[in-house]
A = this chain, B = another copy of it.
Amino acid sequence: MRLATLNNGSADGQLIVVSRDLGCAVAASSIAPTLIDAMARWDDVRRPLAELNDALDAGRVTDAFAFDPKRCMAPLPRSPQWLDASAFLNHGHLMEEAFNTPPIPHFDTIPVMYQGASDDFLGPFDEVPLPSEADGIDFEGEFGVVCGPVAMGATPEAALGCVRLVVQINDWSLRALGPHEMKTGFGFLQAKPSTAFAAVAVTPDELGDGWRDGRVQMHLHVEWNGQRFGEPHGGEMNFHFGQLIAHAARSRRLTAGSIVGSGTVSNKSRAAGSACIAERRVIEKIDLGEIKTGFMKFGDRVRMQARYDDGRDGPFGVVEQRVVSAA
């Protein structure tokens, strides 16, 4: 099942279901007006939504329209919580070198995770207004999951069963602000402006072989200003999403619609490239002895697209964004 949210001027947008080829869509208004409403009533709406999806794919709906991801918001334009991990340890270890910070204790055995703002997500083609190029503007390609309700203290296995949707994420970061916020111990705040999402959220079964072991088994292809930047694979994630959700729910319950992110997709193989600039910079420092790549400038564009191992486009659609001055 493929779900997206049309921008209709409201805060939560309008829920639509999208055909398998992402060619057309149909409003789901008769079932649920918004995705956050569908999350709250999932047991009641899941089947009707799936049936509508099937009917759309079979050409059996009369009010289908051309699907235009440029008219989409994030699948959940706002959500109860946004909890982002750093579950690709290769990335984390490289970043420690980049930030010149002491090793994070138990980094390989206990997930690290920050709480991000979840009230103002960006859609896949939204411009990204930011205050200053001096802040070290960076993209971060990630995968994530949207959860149903999770009980406090859920096991990783139970938590994995709470995954309802899989999403593709661009977690914007301001690298010049990160090290100070890490040193305070209070975590990222100014370093994490609004996060963006690809248009289409899908149920795990929709991914077929692309969802296994609680991980998204796909490459995330990243381009910066039209140039290939990397295509690391999601299968190398060191913690699976059930482990990440359980970590988040250690001392709180999660309400339906909460989103948990993987952190930047990152592979040990240098051939995979990177899904964020900061990682490329530290690799340059290590491999070449000097940093050659700067961060983004206003007007720069980033494009992200997930692809299956056999090269087919993933079902999430494309993230394609341009950074602009907020002033």
Which residue from B105, B116, B183, B248 sits with its C-beta under 8 Å from A104? Answer: B183
Q: Once the chains bind, are A114 and B251 in contact (CB under 8 Å)?
A: no
Q: Which residues of A from 140 to 194 have beta carbons under 8 Å from B?
A: 152-153, 174, 177, 180-194
Q: Once the chains bind, are B177 and A113 in contact (CB under 8 Å)?
A: no
Q: Once the chains bind, are A105 and B183 in contact (CB under 8 Å)?
A: yes
Given contacts A105-B184, A187-B188, contact A152 B83 (CB under 8 A): no
Given contacts A105-B180, A180-B106, contact A130 B186 (CB under 8 A): no
A130 to B, closest residue via Cβ: B251
Which B residues lie within 8 Å of A24 (CB)?
Answer: none
Which B residues lie within 8 Å of A113 (CB)?
Answer: 186, 189
Q: Once the chains bind, are A119 and B81 in contact (CB under 8 Å)?
A: yes
A263 to B, closest residue via Cβ: B186
Q: Answer whether residue A23 sits at the interface, using C-beta atoms and an 8 A cutoff.
A: no
A95 to B, closest residue via Cβ: B185
Binds B, one of A42-50, A252-260, A269-277, A299-307: A252-260
Q: Once the chains bind, are B186 and A188 in contact (CB under 8 Å)?
A: yes
Which B residues lie within 8 Å of A252 (CB)?
Answer: 117, 120, 193-194
Q: Which residues of A from 216 to 272 have beta carbons under 8 Å from B?
A: 247-248, 250-253, 255, 258
16 further A-B contacts with Cβ under 8 Å, apart from A105-B180, A192-B251, are A83-B189, A86-B186, A104-B184, A110-B180, A115-B115, A115-B116, A119-B258, A120-B255, A130-B251, A131-B153, A131-B251, A153-B327, A181-B185, A190-B251, A193-B251, A193-B252
